[in-house]
Structure 1
């Protein structure tokens, strides 16, 4: 349904909600206004008139004058209740809640189909980057081979501070928290879970593969070791938290979130601070690169604004690739990856039998312990040593690939690495 005017019921008036209000004030051509705002904190001072606010979600969900619900709260469970009821009530929804979407995507896709009501979520993927709609529309019939990217601005800010500025992890995290790029409890970001939720959305729109976040391996940056960062410096590489989804032969998709060594020639090597970057590889359009801010009030609000604009001309996601690519499946046991594993002591040593090939290793109380090997993606996810204290896993600078395409031995690094560590 085409809308010439939009009256918004807004849930949440935090950083992004206030950013949305500001950009709407500066975009009169959209003909959209906020009719009511639902908030939780009764004691917080507000910059807008008190009569605009309510503490009862039903005041928005049951109000026939509000035709679009914009959900910008940080509680995924409550967001799910709001979004589901809004769709059932026939109200279009715009949301930025990637955790809620990732955990309920199959049901929400079916709700859109059964109610005929659109749910848009460009802001949930990469903030200001127009990723979802491009995957949905521009690559509508172009066979995508892969998408890989830095899709969490908080971790990228931390890694930039560590790599470019030489800050220890704890100091970089503290600074990110002071600047508002990381939450007071940063686990969702630094453990790779936020990027994993976004990867669920990218899989649906890039390949038509609908899966849950628990099906994807996610390793964060919270366990990075000095040995791994020294190896990256010695090799002239940058460590980035990279989410990748790749089409393999025989209708298989491999996908994971891993700290990854990125070569200077790679587009993602130059994505710094809170920026996001996404590289697509396709059969016809070849290689394309998206770059933009992945965090902050205005970048996220700009994506919400774009979705509101799309609603004015009746836009909705069609999910055509779900029908086109019904033969695709997620099969981590059919994919493998090359990794550097560092570990602090013999109690946490990786099980060599988990690896397809062990290319090299060193165990030294003075020099540190590491292993470089090729391992199946599924086996890595199941490895009992993966989450042990003192264990760090970093993907080497090569893509996910089919298990039959193991690469040869890696260059020896012991002498250079030891020299770097001893400095």
Structure 2
């Protein structure tokens, strides 16, 4: 018998209980041991539930129970989750978490503490919800040198962009619909401003390349400035706009990492990842591109990944499952201003569209034009290749000096 405790009985925590109770026999068979939830930490009471007697409001009850060997953290946020998880690891209890904010901010420290105490700290559900991604990168693709990872890592923003692309909804209208359907929170800023996707790409980068990446070090843009005009130009170009978290290892040993809306070619595997689904591409030297696809959030998909980690913990109780990365180091992340890439620009001048483009071609050598239907007077779509962030900023200043306004600037992905 393996006794566990669950911290938090919200969406994910209640889902973990549901999966454990409805799949008891198959879980016992896979874990080769019965798993019993002995304690559930929550400030609320749930007298109607069959396991109502397992609730406690006192974390010390769990911490000081020697029979509890695994703690499942489903509280979310940094505090008190971080304090509780650290104390569990210090007191001989392995931890499973779905908390992306915790792993992104404290992953290196907690992994080191788990290693020191010969315990497990597992977090499959922190990225991609029910999509297996942590385990494949750490085990199945271990023979590869991973060079790049790119993905649609947030279902809320992907749903909004899908509505803008397919049904020509404006951003605000699509966001309101997402909130009505329960895909977006009342305060959607963590999703639409890119913070959620940033935490997830930080975790993937830390795991793939072995050094912790902090979210505050990553250039992050959201989708709040994307317009239907941008969507139309992307279509004319031959693609769609997606919010992408992307990281790549450079020849100098630095990593280039960012979260930003990007134009994706229709030929890309990521172009057809729609609605609330997530898609992650891992580029390995031996395998090439490997695609992971599925629902990136939700009660039962996320709970499924959490329970899989619990089973892993039970099976590796006496033999620690190796998962580790080093603490962050200076000069590891390539300065954003020096990262080169291709760009799409939507510009407008107080002249004809042809004249607007002519001014852009003069300021941006090698610029190519995109023409969309119902193009506004003086408006032009332009693409520019292989230029750094600093370089394009400098040239756009020259363009604006000539009387041409830059309405939007979006990177073009090579995935």
* Corresponding residue number in structure 1 for 2:161: 159
Residues in 2 aligned to 1:156 and 1:59: alpha-carbon distance in whole angstroms: 41
Q: What are the ranges of 5 or more consecutive residues in structure 1 without an aligned counterpart? A: 347-351, 400-423
When Rg is computed on C-alpha atoms for both structures, the one with the higher figure is 2
Deviation at residue 77 of structure 1 after TM alignment: 2.1
Deviation at residue 57 of structure 1 after TM alignment: 2.1
After TM superposition, the score normalised by the length of structure 1 is: 0.80
Contact 2:240-2:263 at 8 Å conserved across structures: yes
Query: Paired residue for 2:193, among 191, 194, 198?
Result: 191
Matched, 1:27 2:30: no
Aligned residues: 381
Contact 2:348-2:378 at 8 Å conserved across structures: no
CA RMSD of aligned residues (A): 3.3
Residues in 1 aligned to 2:366 and 2:50: alpha-carbon distance in whole angstroms: 62
Residues in 2 aligned to 1:345 and 1:200: alpha-carbon distance in whole angstroms: 39
Please state whether the residue corresponding to 1:261 is helix, strand or coil: strand
After TM superposition, the score normalised by the length of structure 2 is: 0.82
Structure-to-structure mapping, 1:117-196, within 5 angstroms: 117-196=119-198
The Cα offsets for residues 149-194 of structure 1, whole Å up to 9 and x where unpaired, read as 1111111111112212322212221222222222111111111111
Please state whether the residue corresponding to 2:71 is helix, strand or coil: strand
Deviation at residue 382 of structure 1 after TM alignment: 12
Structure 2 CA distance for partners of 1:365 and 1:93, relative to 1, 3 Å: same
* Corresponding residue number in structure 1 for 2:400: none
Query: Paired residue for 2:4, among 8, 12, 17?
Result: 8
* Corresponding residue number in structure 2 for 1:38: 41
Structure-to-structure mapping, 1:240-251, within 5 angstroms: 240-251=242-253
* Corresponding residue number in structure 2 for 1:404: none
The Cα offsets for residues 210-245 of structure 1, whole Å up to 9 and x where unpaired, read as 121111111111221233122112223111111111
* Corresponding residue number in structure 2 for 1:421: none
Contact 1:154-1:295 at 8 Å conserved across structures: no
Structure 2 CA distance for partners of 1:345 and 1:8, relative to 1, 3 Å: farther
* Corresponding residue number in structure 1 for 2:340: 336
Residues in 2 aligned to 1:46 and 1:341: alpha-carbon distance in whole angstroms: 57
The Cα offsets for residues 234-285 of structure 1, whole Å up to 9 and x where unpaired, read as 2231111111111222323211111111111111111111111111111111
The Cα offsets for residues 365-397 of structure 1, whole Å up to 9 and x where unpaired, read as 9445776445535788999x9xxxx96442124
Structure-to-structure mapping, 1:19-418, within 5 angstroms: 19-28=15-24, 29-30=27-28, 31-41=34-44, 47-314=49-316, 316=320, 318-319=322-323, 329-332=332-335, 333-342=337-346, 359=367, 366-368=377-379, 372-373=383-384, 375-377=387-389, 392-398=408-414
Please state whether the residue corresponding to 2:230 is helix, strand or coil: helix
Deviation at residue 317 of structure 1 after TM alignment: 5.0
